[in-house]
Structure 1
Amino acid sequence: MTEPSARPSYRFALVMITTLFFMWGFVHNLDPILIPHLRRSFSLSVLQSAFVDSAVFIAYFVMALPAGFLIRKAGYKCAILAGLLLFAIGSLLFIPAANTQQYAVFLAALFTIACGLTILETAANPYVTLLGRPDKAAQRINLAQSFNGLAATLAPIIGARLILVQGASEQQLAAMPAAARQAALAAEAASVKGPYMALGLVILAIALIFFFLKLPEAETTAADKHGDAPAASSIGDTLKVPAIRRAVIAQFFYVGAQVCVFSFFILFATRAAGVSDVSAADYLGWGCGMAFMVGRFAGTCLMRFIAPARLLLMYAMACAALAVVAMLTQGLASIAAVIGIAFFMSIMFPTIFSLGIQGAGAHTEMGSSLIIMAIVGGALLPLLFGLVSDLTHNVQFGYAVPLLCFLVIAWFARASLQASHGERAATISIGVMERV
């Protein structure tokens, strides 16, 4: 009798949680705009500029377990509010970062934002999978993450026009006296104040809405209250679950690949195709971002007919092939290859996540935390991308790193597919024995 009344509350909760997917997708996809902006302001190498990603994604490693602990002790709503407040504080820290003109302060602001995003993602990803039928969890999380893809389209286009201001050329800067050059770069750096202040205020408004919003309790939370919760607090026990263990490995490499592809796209496009920074940002938004969003919606639909693990395997192999094309071609062909990668990698994060925690029971929250911790791949693998690019003096050769990552994801998908076949065979065998 309670089912009809539960569905509307689930639906409204999904709508509100989906706004979080959009907002963290938007701020993450401003990072590829920040990288060329800060490279210019601080005369950074490719490797040094990769510390932007390191500052962001190291937070996932630091905060994932505390986030899981917060969810278990205070619930999903409190965790979401805490994440939103840190998100807003980090955004507002861009004002003193621009005023002080210190690279370390920018990195601290990004780290603070990422701490908030860690809590939000640790809470929102499993919450979406638990709000409804378990067999539809992969579709549900891919649908929510599709709005993350919409943010990936809009953020580079908007951010490029607000942050990548046209200042003095490199030759003009080099000819300036030191004081004048510093003043010019300071004026350019100030372009981040407005966008990030507006972002911080929007996040505070969303936090206010969530404060007054009544969120439905997820089913596993209720189950944990009957005595299964202690198992979820053990990292060792959780990692003994094969699906979770594989998902942690796969997510490490997936996030590393995604960050390499998106964060270095502007540098890649300007070097491989000779386009301007703003044109490269448009290719990033209308090309990669749109492909990423369409890929999410298309993947959600295809999962009605193709098992998520099988689709993930097909997409991982397609990405690996396109990474080779991106390494070896020039001009628009290389850009098209990367746009193709964005389309095929679109389903990877949510699908790896849902396959990892599917049927995890009391291990769901800890499993979620560990998979979110694996996002630290986004802090480490871009450094390898930058190192390869600097050593070879060719950013295209950096795509050897995403190539390796996609092969690891293909391994995860194949292992998940074999596991699902084994479970199905075991179920059929048990059914036959019961009938006998």
Structure 2
Amino acid sequence: MSAKPATEQLPPKGANTYTFALCSLTTLFFMWGFITCLNDILIPYLKGAFELSYTQAMLIQFCFFSAYFIVSIPAGNLVAKIGYQKGIVTGLTVAAIGCLLFYPAAALEVYALFLIALFVLAAGITLLQVSANPFVSILGPTKTASSRLTMTQAFNSLGTTVAPFFGAYLIFSSVETSDATGASAVQLPYLLLAAILLLLAGVFAKLKLPKLGTVTHSAASYADAIKFSHLKLGAIAIFLYVGAEVAIGSFLVSYLHDPNIAGLTESEASRLIAYYWGGAMLGRFVGAIVMQHVSAGKVLAFNAAAAIVLLMLTIFSQGEIAKWSVLAIGLFNSIMFPTIFSLAISGLGQHASRGSGVLCLAIVGGAIVPLLQGVLADVVGLQLAFFLPLLCYIYIAFYGVKGSVPTHVEADKE
């Protein structure tokens, strides 16, 4: 096996240096989890405020996650030039600008302006993803990369667990219907987020983080990176996983609000989203320990199979069983993203930064799958539309069992 390229060579620093760096990076994982989960509250709120169909409401996720598709490759190129730390600062600043745009969008009450604001916000989050995910993967032994990334992703889930309470209180407040106060209720929450993001940008501009060597300046390209089959199949897995996770989260409030399911008010249903994302947080802490002893591929396949069973209950049951089965999916979603990500970039060497860009590109699944589920919900009904994420988890189970294993040719390249 050849020596590792500059992108994976660690400087001779002490363990405390890396511990500090990882602790700093967890704040970013928390923030983008918090922001992304707020979309689950925003969807039913704006659906009521603007009297939207399910398909129209899913444009929120379409615009948010399409930014990953459009921005990921330019973001990867930018990070390759300016480095991980400056990439983080730039991402935080752009995300803050997106949050500030919510104020005029709400003042003018124009749905299209909300979609533009969401795109800008997501562009900043994309820069954070491209910068921080490989940073965490590289910041320590290769064999524990999945465990390390899973642990930091647990704080992403902490953000998604806290966000529903924040959103339900400030956005839905005491009203029982989402159109009671127009669109103005989103102004304060997103102004607060903008202030926090700008503060974090200032902090990360001053932090002394480890220098992880130069980001590759070799002739490595995206075309070279996608020659690795486990990366290509991993990109599909990321596409389908993010799509399924986002689609389920996006429809939770409407699903639990349905009188045939749980009959909850939108405010009550919004708070229950915390169980979905809280399960993901708990599962990531547990998964980080389990994957020290069990192969990441096996854990991924097991969790996908469990999600399939729970979705069958979600589709074919009602009442308490339907409510808790859909919320429990979050527990088994827990380790999927970081595990797929780590498996897909394993052994890429000098292609790692490009591979990261490809995987972040695949997050566009969060734009496509929810929109398709919205179309299905308008045509066949909300409950039957959950067949779409079920199909996504079937592929993820395949990736864990077989698709994540590099071929002999690829192993020779490491």
Q: TM-score range by the shorter chain?
A: over 0.9
Q: Of 274, 279, 292, which aligns to 1:291?
A: 279
2:197 aligned residue:
203
Does the CA contact (< 8 Å) of 2:64 and 2:119 recur in 1?
yes
**Cα deviation, residue 320, structure 1:** 1.0
Alignment of 1:1-400 (within 5 A): 5-167=13-175, 187-218=181-212, 221=214, 224=216, 229-231=218-220, 234-271=221-258, 272-285=261-274, 287-392=275-380, 394-400=381-387
Tell me the distance in 2 between the aligned counterparts of 1:89 and 1:122.
19
Q: Percent identity?
A: 39
Once the two structures are TM-superposed, the CA of residue 4 in structure 1 deviates from its matched residue by 7.5
Secondary structure of the structure 2 residue equivalent to 1:304: coil
Query: Cα offset for 1:296?
Result: 0.8
Query: Residue type matched to 1:251 in 2?
Result: I
CA distance in 2, matches of 1:88, 1:385: 30
Give the Cα separation in 2 of the matches to 1:236 and 1:402: 29
Does residue 403 (structure 1) correspond to residue 390 (structure 2)? The answer is yes
User: If the length of structure 2 is used for normalisation, what is the TM-score?
Assistant: 0.93
Q: Which amino acid aligns with 2:142?
A: P
- The answer (yes or no) to whether the contact 1:165–1:188 under 8 Å persists in 2 is no
Correspondence for 1:431: none
Structure with greater proportional helix content: 1
Secondary structure in 2 matching 1:106 = helix
TM-score, length basis structure 1: 0.88
Q: Distance in 1 between matches of 2:210 and 2:175?
A: 50
Could you tell me how far 1:237 is from its partner in structure 2? 1.2
Tell which structure's C-alpha radius of gyration is larger: 1
Count of residues in correspondence between the two structures: 401
Query: Where do 4+ consecutive residues of structure 1 move more than 3 Å?
Result: 2-5, 165-170, 416-420
**Contact 1:79–1:120 under 8 Å retained in 2:** yes
Structure-2 change in CA distance of 1:22 and 1:169 (3 Å): closer
Whole-angstrom distance in 1 between the partners of 2:184 and 2:316:
38
CA distance in 1, matches of 2:355, 2:305: 26
Residue type at the aligned position of 1:253: L
Give the letter for the 2:242 counterpart: V
After TM superposition, list the pairs within 5 Å mapping 1:416-435 onto structure 2. 416=403, 418-419=405-406
1:371-394 Cα shifts (integer Å, max 9, x gaps)? 0000001101111111111101x2
Which runs of no fewer than 5 residues in structure 2 stay unpaired?
1-9
| 1:274 positional shift | 0.8
The superposition leaves residues 197-223 of structure 1 with CA deviations (integer Å, 9 ceiling, x where unpaired) of 01100110000011111221225x36x
What is the RMSD of the two structures over their aligned residues, measured on CA atoms? 2.0
Q: Name stretches of at least 5 consecutive residues in structure 1 with no aligned partner.
A: 171-183, 428-436
- Deviations along 1:386-433, one digit per CA (max 9) or x if unpaired, are 1111101x211111111010011111111246549x79xx99xxxxxx
